[in-house]
A and B are shown apart, each in its own frame.
Chain A
Amino acid sequence: MTIALETIHQSSAGTKPAPGWFRENRSAIVRHGVINFFMLIILAPLVWVLMMSIKSRSDAMRSDFWPRRFDFTHYRYVFDKIDTFPINLLNSIYVTSGTVLITTVCAVLAGYALVHMKPKGGGLVVATLLISLYFPVRVVSTSGLILPYVTLNLAISVLIMRSVFQLVPHEVVEAAKVDGAGPWRTLWEIVLPMARNGLVVIFIVNFVTAWGEFLLCSTLTNDQIVRTMPVVLAGAQGGLGQWSWPALAAVYVLVVTPGIIAFTFAQKLFFKGLAEGVVKG
């Protein structure tokens, strides 16, 4: 993308060779040049991994950027030949969706209660928080990872939701109450749609933390079969055999792409939510 932008600059400079045009737009050209330089730095490592995952094995050891022979079979190879791979991937999906779901529900309820609710429904919030508090942190199974992860994320999620809910005027909630809507209906049908952007933010923040958590998962689990994909990836040594460099890179691309795609689709809401919840809060 960045390279394309640079060629646009060059070609438009080429069609209008007048030196005056260049002088007038000099600051803009320098500015876009510097920005694109930084964009290139941000994208370069990711592009390198993508290229690595489609190189032939002999090209992988040669470390030139552009391979002499492409090989797209690594993606199928990791599914067929690495026996724990599908299980690790499922572990990741299971742990992440569990964490994101529980954290989001708790954060929404707590944030809503903190800002708008009367004490009546508050017991549920306190109970949920307390339950998640007193769970022991030592776990031996994949399911056991979910609650510690919820614990990690809950404080920040509740704080974000709280500042997002503060943007919803009290009058709206009062009006819903006057019209006969209970607290659940008010939350579900009126307040939550107004807080959509903040919801996207905690969704993505929680997804990223749970999907990639390392320290707890590697300390608390001791069997490859119950670990999440990123932890297995961190422990894998590149080289020959099962974990050849292109195979490793293919696993990496498979693991990292869902987050980037989800973010790209949700970016509009995410930026709005970020401005509402994080910066002002």
Chain B
Amino acid sequence: MAETTVSDRMATRPVGHADTLGARMTALRHGMSPWWFRYQAYPIFRVLWISFTDYQYLSSEPAHFVGFNNYAAALNDPLMWSSLWRATMFTIMFLPGTIILPLLLAILVDKVSNPRLATLYRVVLLIPAVIPSTLVFVLWKWMYNYQVGPINHLLVDVFGLFTLQNAPQWLGGTSLTLPAIAVMEVWWGLGYHTIFFLAGLAAIPKDLPEAARIDGASEWSIFWHITRPALAPIMMILVVLRFGTAMAVIDEYLIFGGFNRDSPTYTWTMFMYDQAFKLGLWRQGFAAAIGMIGAIAMMIVMIILIRIFRPKG
């Protein structure tokens, strides 16, 4: 969506002025479209072009235009559909938890009146957010570890739900891997999203819920009629952003899943990565088509999500 508005602006700009630095700076100040275009849109158009060619990385032959061949090949590949479906499954497991739990927690923390406690809670909440992604993955790889991991230790030795023989195998592309990654992602985003909601809650005037309470409104109806509409914009941003990241996850699958095509972690992003960098054929035209199909599918769902969560009125 952003690309179209940018290219529209580019098209309507007077051509003669475009090359002078002054005009460029004016445009930059008024919406930084040229910079934005080069920085964000150029790679997208580049991939779009590659997806219509038989471009191969490190190949001495020049790329040929092949029309929609790559798209036809991708759409006819059952792996394209199953890998998109796997990404959708992950999003369904991850998205509700990562929105609802922080919302609940933010409402509770917002009511803490002791300033020192409130600060302490906020600092603890943001600790996972200052741990870099790789280190979060390493940490949870240990949590789920078969031998020394505390999760299996709790399940086997403390609660006795499993024995060492049938203890769950979380990682490595089993059916438990996607839920395990979803739990990790919810843990990681819990504090950060809570802080977002807290910022939204702080913007609600305190006398509004007070007045409603005096008038005899229940806590639930205060939440539904005052808190929920006030948080709607933040909710929309989080849902749309996290939908996008959840559908396009790749690092986690690379680390926890591996390149087994039957693994539930082999999603369309892995498929693309595999085709482009791993398999040795470097069919980057085909990989680009996979990427474009995935991106278009995501964009359609995003538009629907924005329509659903758009603040009313």
| Chain A contacts to B: CB under 8 angstroms | 1-2, 5, 31-32, 34-35, 38-39, 41-46, 48-49, 52, 60-61, 63-65, 113-115, 117, 119, 122-123, 125-126, 129-130, 133, 154-155, 204, 208-209, 211-215, 219, 230-231, 233-234, 238, 245, 249, 252, 255-256, 259-260, 262-264, 267, 270-271, 274-275, 279
Q: Bound complex: CA of A230 vs CA of B202, how far in Å?
A: 36
* CB-based contact A35/B105 at 8 Å: yes
- Beyond the given pairs A122-B25, A214-B137, A256-B131, 14 more chain A to chain B contacts, judged by CB atoms under 8 angstroms and listed by A's residue number, are A43-B127, A45-B150, A49-B139, A49-B142, A63-B148, A63-B149, A125-B28, A126-B21, A209-B132, A211-B132, A213-B134, A214-B134, A230-B138, A260-B127
List the B residue with the shortest CB-CB distance to A219.
B277
Interface residues as binary, B125-169 with A (CB distance below 8 Å gives 1, 0 otherwise): 111111111111111101101011110010001000000000000
Contacts of A208 in B (CB 8 A): 129-132
**Which residues of chain B (198-228) have a CB below 8 Å from chain A?**
199-200, 202
* CB-based contact B147/A63 at 8 Å: yes
Across chains A and B, which 6 residue pairs bring their CB atoms closest together, nearest first? A212-B132, A119-B25, A122-B25, A214-B134, A230-B134, A212-B134
List the A residue with the shortest CB-CB distance to B152.
A63
List the A residue with the shortest CB-CB distance to B121.
A35
Contacts of A129 in B (CB 8 A): 35, 38-39
Sampled A-B contacts (14; CB under 8 Å): A32-B112, A38-B101, A42-B187, A42-B190, A45-B143, A48-B150, A52-B142, A113-B29, A123-B21, A212-B131, A263-B127, A274-B195, A275-B202, A279-B234
Interface residues as binary, B99-116 with A (CB distance below 8 Å gives 1, 0 otherwise): 001000100110110000
Say whether, besides A35-B112, A60-B148, A234-B255, A41 and B134 are in contact (CB < 8 Å).
no
* CB-based contact B123/A279 at 8 Å: no
* CB-based contact A155/B277 at 8 Å: no
Contacts of A119 in B (CB 8 A): 21-22, 25-26, 29
- Tell me the smallest distance from the CB of B101 to a CB of chain A, in Å: 8
Max chain A C-beta neighbours (<10 A), residue from B22, B112, B127: B127
Interface residues as binary, B163-205 with A (CB distance below 8 Å gives 1, 0 otherwise): 0000000000000000000000001001100011001101000
Say whether, besides A119-B22, A263-B130, A214 and B251 are in contact (CB < 8 Å).
yes
- Tell me the smallest distance from the CB of A108 to a CB of chain B, in Å: 15
* CB-based contact B147/A61 at 8 Å: yes
* CB-based contact B134/A233 at 8 Å: yes
Looking at chain A's contact residues, the main secondary structure is helix
- Tell me the smallest distance from the CB of B143 to a CB of chain A, in Å: 6
Q: Bound complex: CA of A233 vs CA of B25, how far in Å?
A: 45
**Of B109, B130, B136, B199, which one neighbours A279 at CB under 8 angstroms?**
B199
Q: Is B292 an interface residue (CB 8 A)?
A: no
List the B residue with the shortest CB-CB distance to A204.
B130
* CB-based contact A46/B127 at 8 Å: yes
**Of B35, B124, B128, B148, which one neighbours A238 at CB under 8 angstroms?**
B148
List the B residue with the shortest CB-CB distance to A39.
B124
Q: Bound complex: CA of A8 vs CA of B41, how far in Å?
A: 55
Contacts of A38 in B (CB 8 A): 101, 105, 190
Q: Bound complex: CA of A46 vs CA of B38, how far in Å?
A: 41
Contacts of B308 in A (CB 8 A): none
- Tell me the smallest distance from the CB of B218 to a CB of chain A, in Å: 14
- Tell me the smallest distance from the CB of B155 to a CB of chain A, in Å: 12
Q: Is B120 an interface residue (CB 8 A)?
A: yes
- Tell me the smallest distance from the CB of A50 to a CB of chain B, in Å: 11
List the A residue with the shortest CB-CB distance to B139.
A45
Contacts of B29 in A (CB 8 A): 113-115, 117, 119
Q: Is B89 an interface residue (CB 8 A)?
A: no
* CB-based contact B112/A215 at 8 Å: no
* CB-based contact B196/A31 at 8 Å: no
Q: Is B75 an interface residue (CB 8 A)?
A: no
* CB-based contact B199/A275 at 8 Å: yes
Contacts of A43 in B (CB 8 A): 124, 127
* CB-based contact A42/B199 at 8 Å: no
Contacts of A60 in B (CB 8 A): 148
Max chain B C-beta neighbours (<10 A), residue from A2, A32, A35, A64: A35
List the B residue with the shortest CB-CB distance to A34.
B108
Contacts of B95 in A (CB 8 A): none
Contacts of B143 in A (CB 8 A): 45, 48
* CB-based contact B187/A256 at 8 Å: no
- Tell me the smallest distance from the CB of A85 to a CB of chain B, in Å: 15
Say whether, besides A212-B133, A213-B134, A122 and B148 are in contact (CB < 8 Å).
no
Q: Bound complex: CA of A192 vs CA of B305, how far in Å?
A: 38
Q: Bound complex: CA of A150 vs CA of B185, how far in Å?
A: 25
Max chain A C-beta neighbours (<10 A), residue from B38, B124, B250: B124
List the B residue with the shortest CB-CB distance to A233.
B138
* CB-based contact A63/B133 at 8 Å: no
Q: Is B5 an interface residue (CB 8 A)?
A: no
Contacts of A255 in B (CB 8 A): 135
Q: Bound complex: CA of A42 vs CA of B111, how far in Å?
A: 20
